[in-house]
Amino acid sequence: MLLEVNGLTKAFAGLVAVNEVDFTVQKGEILGLIGPNGAGKTTIFHLLTGYYTPTAGTVLFNGKDMTRVTPPAACRLGLTRTFQIVKPLVQLTVLENVMVGAFAKIGNAKKAKELALEILEFTGQLACKDMLAGNLTLGMRKRLEVSRALATQPELLLLDETMAGLNSKEIADAVKLIMKIRERGITLVVIEHVMKAIMSISDRIVVINYGKKIMEGCPDAVCNDQQVIQAYLGADYAKR
């Protein structure tokens, strides 16, 4: 078991944003995390990577307790996330952005650059390596988030809506990229609203609503679950 989440809870004053959520992630799989806006998906990512401290519950990553971990420590342990609202280092080039990620495990600038170039080729961003990150289109920025996170050489990668706002061709490319990342031996947890995409890439899906896990299972089972349809997908989706 790569990741074990037990009774994870986060309360902000009176509001319980995440309420006793349990799930596990196996090595090598892709776990989809879906649910309506405000359900608490991103909060879960914040809790897993140390941006928030859980009110209750435990997170075990490779058997190691992550409940009190800080974000940089989580990254160095092999658990890296991307941000839904992209955070490019705007005054650095694409290559330099990815080098910053590479420095997490590599001290030498030359070697970091080699890894960064390899990653950019892998993600298909080599052509724009010398562009300033601040000048990229949204699609490229989203992809840069992924490239940069990959450069930290994670074991588990948390992708937070890397397809939101992309056109259909870009979404197809993003799906291909996620499958390629899995082939690299990296385990993924993916938050996504693009249903077609998440259903096609995920091995299992966890559905969150009002901070609670309402369903967990393979994509087909989730699509046909009455509760999920009511809370999130809508009746139309089930008929299709």
Partner 1 sequence: MTKWNDILKNRHLPAVLLALIALVLPLVLRNEYYLHLAILILLWTALGASWNLLGGYTGQVSFGHSVFFGMGAYVSLLLHTKLGVSLWMGLLYAGIAASLIAIPIGWICFRLRGPYFSLSILAFSEVLRLIVLHWKEVTEGAVGILLINSIVDSKVSFYYLMLIVTAIILLVVNFVVKRKLGFYFIAIRDDEEAAEALGIYTTRYKIYSLMISAFFTGVMGSLFANYTSYIDPYIVFSVGDVAIAMVLVVVLGGIGTFWGPLVGAICVVMVNEGSRLMFANASVLIYGALVVIVILFLPKGVVGSLKQYTGKWFHA
Burial readout 145-158 (b: 16 or more C-beta within 10 A, e: otherwise): bbbbbbbbbbbbbb
| Spatial distance between the Cα atoms of 25 and 2, rounded to a whole number of angstroms | 6
Tokens (6 digits) for 208: 């969150």
Select 82 or 162, whichever has its Cβ closest to partner 1: 82
Interface segment toward partner 1; rule CB under 8 A; list 33-41, 96-104, 117-125, 199-207: 96-104
* Interface with partner 1 (CB under 8 A), residue from 51, 52, 122, 210: 51
Residue of 16, 56, 60, 100 that binds partner 1 (CB under 8 A): 100
Q: Which stretch binds partner 1 (CB under 8 A): 21-29, 108-116, 187-195, 210-218?
A: 108-116
Does the protein bind partner 1 through residue 61 (CB under 8 A)?
no
In the complex, minimum distance from the CB of residue 168 to partner 1, in angstroms, rounded to a whole number: 28
Give the nearest distance from C-beta 73 to partner 1 in angstroms.
8
Question: Looking at 7, 28, 72, 165, which residue binds partner 1 (CB under 8 A)?
Answer: 72
For partner 1, the closer of residues 136 and 222 by Cβ is 136
Considering only residues 112, 171, 174, 189, which one is a binding residue for partner 1 as defined by CB under 8 A? 112
Residue 1 engages partner 1 in binding (rule: CB under 8 A): no
186 binds partner 1 (CB under 8 A): no
**141 versus 204: smaller Cβ distance to partner 1:** 141
CA atoms of 86 and 144, how far apart (whole Å): 9
Residue 123 as a binder of partner 1 (CB under 8 A): the answer is no
For position 91 contacting partner 1 by CB under 8 A, the verdict is yes
> According to the binding rule CB under 8 A, does residue 138 interact with partner 1?
no
Q: Which residues bind partner 1 (CB under 8 A)?
A: 49, 51, 70-72, 75-76, 80-83, 87-92, 96, 99-101, 103-105, 107-109, 112, 148-149, 152
